[in-house]
């Protein structure tokens, strides 16, 4: 059971918080919407674990040569391949079943999420730039499932902010992997994650800078857009912007000085500055909007 729990990576469920964006920023919602979003959240938790399982199945050979991933249950033989496939299939069915309680849109989006991640694990993760866009697409599907999937109309500015944020985190993850392997030969880098051989620190730093700027710009414009002001009756959402700016700057600092970036969920939970900043942003947002 301990190996199965480790295989499912429950600490990564923090990323499924993107599902709640619609409820958080929607001016009108009730108990039914909240419950529908809750079931979608649980569905994405099961779907995410499903993806982690079949990703570990595809990566088992390269994981065995990695200094830390070699301890994953499938890589070290603690869980057999037939059992892993059985767990993955069961989680996929569970994800579709849980999310279907609010209608057909959410399970359809989860099905798309599973398909693109299967393609990612099957080979698209080796395609430079596209690999990060596929990761970002998974987060955008979470946002859409938590908005369109439960009957909430999403804001285009908010969707753009989510896209830029997930691209930022994706490129930061690739940069962290390069930083961790900077003393290893390029051939060894490719054996751990093949696509790293096509990235360079200079290119990744430029992509990170562009996406970070776009996150701040798009969120700032969302907070003062006439659509947002009409929906919530206030310009005060603008006062949440400093928390977003600090969060981005702090993450960049941790990326380059404390080897953060490899595991976003763990990073957010182990840095006190990010925790306090995130809680403060959430509380101020709730105070302003609700």
Question: What is the DSSP code string of 68-118?
Answer: TGGGSTTTTTSS-HHHHHHHHHHHHHHHHHHHGGG-SHHHHHHHHHHHHHH
**In which domain, by residue range, is 200 found?**
155-290
Exposed, middle or buried: residue 208 (CB in 10 Å: 0-12, 13-18, 19+)?
A: buried
- Single out the residue in 153, 188, 208 at which a domain terminates: 153
* More confident of the two residues 181 and 110: 110
Nearest-angstrom CA–CA distance, 18 and 60: 29
Q: At residue 186, does pLDDT exceed 70?
A: no
Secondary structure letter of residue 59 according to DSSP: T
Instruction: Give the mean model confidence (pLDDT) for residues 173-194.
Output: 68
Nearest-angstrom CA–CA distance, 89 and 54: 9
Coil, helix or strand at residue 287: helix
Q: What CATH code is carried by the domain that includes residue 144?
A: 1.10.357.140
Exposed, middle or buried: residue 272 (CB in 10 Å: 0-12, 13-18, 19+)?
A: exposed
What confidence score (pLDDT) does residue 183 get?
55
pTM: 0.87
Residues 140 and 206 in one domain: no
What confidence score (pLDDT) does residue 97 get?
94
Nearest-angstrom CA–CA distance, 284 and 78: 45
What confidence score (pLDDT) does residue 111 get?
95
What confidence score (pLDDT) does residue 190 get?
45
| Residue 283 near residue 275, CB atoms below 8 Å | no
* More confident of the two residues 281 and 32: 281
Q: At residue 213, does pLDDT exceed 70?
A: yes
Q: At residue 153, does pLDDT exceed 90?
A: no
Residues 149 and 287 in one domain: no
Segment 59-95, tens digit of pLDDT: 888 888 877 788 889 988 889 999 999 999 999 999 9
- Single out the residue in 115, 137, 153 at which a domain terminates: 153
Residues 139 and 218 in one domain: no
Residues 163 and 93 in one domain: no
Residues 223 and 116 in one domain: no
Q: At residue 187, does pLDDT exceed 80?
A: no
Domain count for the chain: 2
Nearest-angstrom CA–CA distance, 102 and 263: 31
**Average pLDDT value for the chain:** 89
Residues 147 and 189 in one domain: no
* More confident of the two residues 261 and 274: 274
Residues 290 and 179 in one domain: yes
Q: At residue 188, does pLDDT exceed 70?
A: no
Q: At residue 202, does pLDDT exceed 70?
A: yes
Q: Which of 236, 233, 244, 221 is nearest to 155 (CA)?
A: 221
Coil, helix or strand at residue 64: coil
What confidence score (pLDDT) does residue 77 get?
87
What confidence score (pLDDT) does residue 273 get?
94
Residues 185 and 244 in one domain: yes
Q: Which residue has the tokens 């960049």?
A: 252
Q: Give the up-direction half-sphere exposure of residue 269: CA atoms within 13 A in the CB hemisphere.
A: 9
Proportion of the chain above pLDDT 70, given as a percent: 95
Which range has highest mean pLDDT (11-25, 28-42, 273-287)? Answer: 273-287
- Single out the residue in 153, 176, 208 at which a domain terminates: 153
Segment 87-132, tens digit of pLDDT: 999 999 999 999 988 778 899 999 999 999 999 988 898 899 999 9
Nearest-angstrom CA–CA distance, 173 and 267: 11
Q: Residue 194: what are its φ and ψ, rounded to 5°?
A: -55, -40
The secondary structure of 178-200 as a DSSP string is: HHHTTTS-HHHHHHH-GGGGG--
What confidence score (pLDDT) does residue 207 get?
96
Residues 172 and 36 in one domain: no
Residues 57 and 169 in one domain: no
Segment 272-282, tens digit of pLDDT: 999 999 999 99
- Percent helix, strand, coil in the chain (nearest 5)? 80, 0, 20
Distances (CA, A) of 181 to 58, 70, 187, 190, 206: 22, 16, 11, 10, 19
């Amino acid at each position: 059971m301990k190996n199965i729990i480790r295989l499912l990576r429950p600490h990564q469920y923090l990323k499924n918080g993107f599902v709640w964006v619609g409820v958080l920023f929607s001016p009108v919602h009730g108990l039914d919407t909240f419950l529908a979003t809750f079931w979608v959240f649980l569905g994405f938790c099961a779907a995410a674990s499903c993806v982690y399982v079949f990703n570990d199945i595809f990566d088992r050979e390269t994981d065995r040569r990695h200094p830390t991933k070699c301890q994953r249950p499938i890589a070290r033989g603690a869980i057999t391949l037939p059992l892993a496939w059985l767990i993955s299939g069961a989680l996929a069915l569970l994800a579709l079943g849980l999310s279907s309680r609010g209608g057909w849109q959410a399970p359809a989006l989860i099905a798309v999420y599973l398909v693109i991640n299967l393609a990612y694990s099957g080979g698209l993760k080796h395609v430079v730039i596209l690999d990060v866009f596929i990761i970002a697409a998974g987060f955008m599907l979470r946002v859409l499932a938590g908005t369109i999937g439960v009957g909430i109309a999403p804001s285009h500015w908010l969707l753009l902010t989510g896209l830029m944020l997930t691209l930022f985190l994706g490129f930061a993850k690739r940069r962290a992997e390069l930083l961790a392997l900077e003393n290893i030969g390029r051939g060894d880098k490719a054996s751990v994650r093949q696509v790293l051989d096509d990235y360079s620190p200079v290119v990744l730093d430029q992509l990170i800078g562009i996406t970070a700027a776009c996150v701040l710009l798009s969120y700032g414009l969302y907070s003062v857009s006439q659509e947002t002001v009409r929906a919530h009756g206030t310009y005060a959402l603008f006062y949440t912007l400093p928390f977003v700016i600090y969060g981005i700057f702090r993450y960049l600092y941790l990326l380059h000085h404390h080897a953060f970036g490899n595991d976003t969920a763990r990073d957010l939970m182990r840095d006190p500055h990010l925790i306090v900043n995130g809680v403060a942003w959430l509380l101020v947002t709730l105070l302003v909007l609700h």
